[in-house]
Amino acid sequence: MALLHSCEELLLILVLFLMNLAHTPLVYIVDDEPALRDALLGLLKSVGLQALAVADIEAMMTAYQPQRPGCLLLGIQGHPDLGAQQCLREQGIDLPVIIIAGHSDVSLAVNAMKQGVLDFIEKPFNDQLLLDGVHHALAEDTIRRRSRARHREFQQRFDTLTPREQDVLRQVAEGLSNQDIAEVLKLSRKTVEVHRAKVMDKMQADTLAQLLRMTLTLGILKLYDFDT
């Protein structure tokens, strides 16, 4: 019996550990210089951050743990094509990226930012500056994850609407009154009111302001706009 309790306690500890690990940020380091990888690992671990260092972007994508928040420190040499950004996007990896460059100029930094790079740091770098950048990147990843989670939740609600209810929602998002919606969709005002009430219920919106924020998150006006 004592052994059974001991096994159950160990299993509980393991489950709690894995649950905690899933929310622990992980900083990915990609650089082909072992010395730099080791230096970055040591720096990050010295402030309590977990990090994983690999030599190339392919190894990073293989080791990627999507359930954990994180960011990417990407070391580059010379004047790169920044193709790693495209590789990550194609694999559905949307991590904030900090480039650590051996050489930089204004055009390279601007091009990197246009490609979605969050920060650009030139070697030799200041340790505190880099750590500040990492903490900022981890905070940005948390914001992105929450935004994606909201979008998925709102999309699931939207998908429960009938085509007619989606039409009504679009018109509401454009600011039309019930009477105007009735005229546009060639319905009675009473029918529009019924559809609108169902939209509020299915979208779980207590107020019009809440509903409009959801349409903004979903991009309803952009995604469902008719040709004019």
pLDDT for the residue 9: 57
Q: Region 139-145: what's the mean pLDDT?
A: 95
Cα–Cα distance measured from residue 78 to residue 72, given in angstroms and rounded to the nearest whole number: 19
pLDDT for the residue 1: 54
pLDDT-based confidence at residue 213 (cuts at 50, 70, 90)? very high
Look-up: residue for tokens 């009111």? 193
Q: Which of 11-25, 28-42, 145-159, 194-208 has the lowest mean pLDDT?
A: 11-25
Name the percent of the chain lying above pLDDT 90: 67
* Whether residues 203 and 124 fall in one domain: no
* Whether residues 61 and 122 fall in one domain: yes
Q: Please say whether the beta carbons of 93 and 64 come within 8 A.
A: yes
The pTM of the full predicted model, rounded to 2 decimals, is 0.73
Cα–Cα distance measured from residue 70 to residue 25, given in angstroms and rounded to the nearest whole number: 5
Q: Please say whether the beta carbons of 172 and 200 come within 8 A.
A: no
Q: Region 129-142: what's the mean pLDDT?
A: 97
* Whether residues 50 and 145 fall in one domain: yes
* Alpha-carbon torsion (219, 112, 84, 64), positive or negative: negative
Average pLDDT, the chain: 86
Q: For 88-109, write each residue's pLDDT tens digit.
A: 888 889 899 999 987 766 767 7
Q: Is the peptide bond before 124 cis (omega within 30 degrees of 0)?
A: yes
Give the CATH number, domain containing residue 190. Answer: 1.10.10.10
Q: Which domain range does residue 132 map to? A: 22-149
Q: Region 181-202: what's the mean pLDDT?
A: 97
* Whether residues 194 and 83 fall in one domain: no
* Whether residues 205 and 99 fall in one domain: no
Does 155 map to a domain?
A: no
CB atoms within 10 A of CB 157: 16
Cα–Cα distance measured from residue 122 to residue 125, given in angstroms and rounded to the nearest whole number: 6
Among 149, 174, 208, where does a domain finish?
149
Higher pLDDT, 26 or 76: 26
* Whether residues 145 and 197 fall in one domain: no
Q: For 45-78, write each residue's pLDDT tens digit.
A: 999 999 999 999 999 999 999 999 999 999 987 5
pLDDT for the residue 45: 96
Cα–Cα distance measured from residue 186 to residue 178, given in angstroms and rounded to the nearest whole number: 12
* Whether residues 29 and 137 fall in one domain: yes
For the cut 70, the answer to whether the pLDDT of residue 18 exceeds it is: no
Q: What is the largest CA-CA distance in the chain?
A: 75
pLDDT for the residue 123: 86
* Whether residues 113 and 172 fall in one domain: no
For the cut 60, the answer to whether the pLDDT of residue 14 exceeds it is: no
What do you get for the CA distance between the two ends of the chain, in Å? Answer: 75
* Whether residues 108 and 187 fall in one domain: no
For the cut 80, the answer to whether the pLDDT of residue 118 exceeds it is: yes
Q: Region 146-174: what's the mean pLDDT?
A: 96
Cα–Cα distance measured from residue 43 to residue 222, given in angstroms and rounded to the nearest whole number: 44
pLDDT-based confidence at residue 225 (cuts at 50, 70, 90)? very low
For the cut 80, the answer to whether the pLDDT of residue 157 exceeds it is: yes
CA distances from 52 to 18, 64, 90, 132, 172 (A): 17, 9, 21, 18, 48
Look-up: residue for tokens 């990090």? 51
